[in-house]
Structure 1
Amino acid sequence: MASLTRPRYLPMTLAAATIAVTCMVAAVPPGDAAKAGTAGRQAKPTVVLIHGAWADTSSWDGEVSLLRKAGYTVRAIGNPLQNLTTDAQTVRDFLKSIKGPIVLAGHSYGGSVITNAAQGVSNVKALVYVDAAAPAVGETTGQLSGPTSVLTKKPPSDLYDAVPYANAPSKASALYLKENVFVTKFASSVPHEQAVNLWATQRAATTVAFQTPSKYAAWKTIPSWYFISSGDQIITPDSEKKMARRANSKVTIYNGGSHLTLVSDPAAVTKVIRAAISSVK
Structure 2
Amino acid sequence: MSKPQIVLLPGAWHTPAHLVGLGKSLEEAGYTVHCNQLPSVGSDDNPPPDLTRDIAALQETVTTAIADGNDVLVVPHSWSGIIASSGLHGYGKKEREAKGEKGGVIRTAYMCAFLVPEGVSLLDALQHQIPEWWYPKGDLTYPTDPKIFYNDLPEAEQQMYFAMCKTHAYGTKKAKSTGASWKDIPSWYLITEDDLAIPAFAQDLMTGTVQQLGGDMKVERIKSGHSPWLSHPDFTVNWVRRAAGEDLEI
Which TM-score band applies after superposition, normalised by the shorter structure? Answer: 0.7 to 0.9
The structure 1 residue matched to 2:111, chosen from 130, 146, 149, is 130
Deviation at 1:248, TM superposition (A): 3.6
**Where do 5+ consecutive residues of structure 1 fail to align?**
1-39, 165-172
1:224-243 alignment runs, 5 A limit: 224-243=187-206
- Structure 1 residue 139 corresponds to structure 2 residue 106: no
Partner of 2:190: helix, strand, or coil?
A: strand
Structure 1 residues 279 and 67 mapped into 2: Cα distance closer, same or farther (>3 Å)? closer
Contact 1:190 1:260 in 2 (8 A): no
Contact 1:145 1:152 in 2 (8 A): yes
Structure 1 residues 243 and 60 mapped into 2: Cα distance closer, same or farther (>3 Å)? same
1:141 is aligned with what amino acid? L
Between the aligned partners of 2:127 and 2:137, the Cα distance in structure 1 is: 25
Contact 1:50 1:106 in 2 (8 A): yes
Contact 1:146 1:236 in 2 (8 A): no
**Residue 141 of structure 2: aligned partner:** 175
Deviation at 1:163, TM superposition (A): 4.1
1:76 is aligned with what amino acid? C
Deviation at 1:49, TM superposition (A): 0.3
The structure 2 residue matched to 1:65, chosen from 3, 10, 24, is 24
Deviation at 1:91, TM superposition (A): 0.8
1:103 is aligned with what amino acid? L
The structure 1 residue matched to 2:134, chosen from 149, 152, 159, is 159
Higher helix share: 1
Between the aligned partners of 2:112 and 2:245, the Cα distance in structure 1 is: 21
2:159 is aligned with what amino acid? V
Between the aligned partners of 1:143 and 1:205, the Cα distance in structure 2 is: 17
- What is the percentage of aligned positions where both structures have the same residue? 23
Larger Rg over CA atoms? 1
Measured on the aligned residues, the alpha-carbon RMSD in Å equals 2.1
Normalised by the size of structure 1, how large is the TM-score?
0.72
Normalised by the size of structure 2, how large is the TM-score?
0.81
Partner of 1:267: helix, strand, or coil?
A: helix
- Structure 1 residue 266 corresponds to structure 2 residue 242: no
**Residue 23 of structure 1: aligned partner:** none
**Where do 5+ consecutive residues of structure 2 fail to align?**
41-47, 97-103
Between the aligned partners of 2:227 and 2:199, the Cα distance in structure 1 is: 13
Q: How many residues align?
A: 220
- Structure 1 residue 244 corresponds to structure 2 residue 181: no
1:1-281 alignment runs, 5 A limit: 40=1, 43-81=2-40, 82=48, 83-98=50-65, 99=67, 100-121=70-91, 122=96, 123-145=104-126, 152-154=130-132, 159-160=134-135, 162-164=136-138, 173-178=139-144, 181=145, 183-245=146-208, 246=210, 247-255=215-223, 257-278=224-245
1:85 is aligned with what amino acid? T
Between the aligned partners of 1:275 and 1:201, the Cα distance in structure 2 is: 29
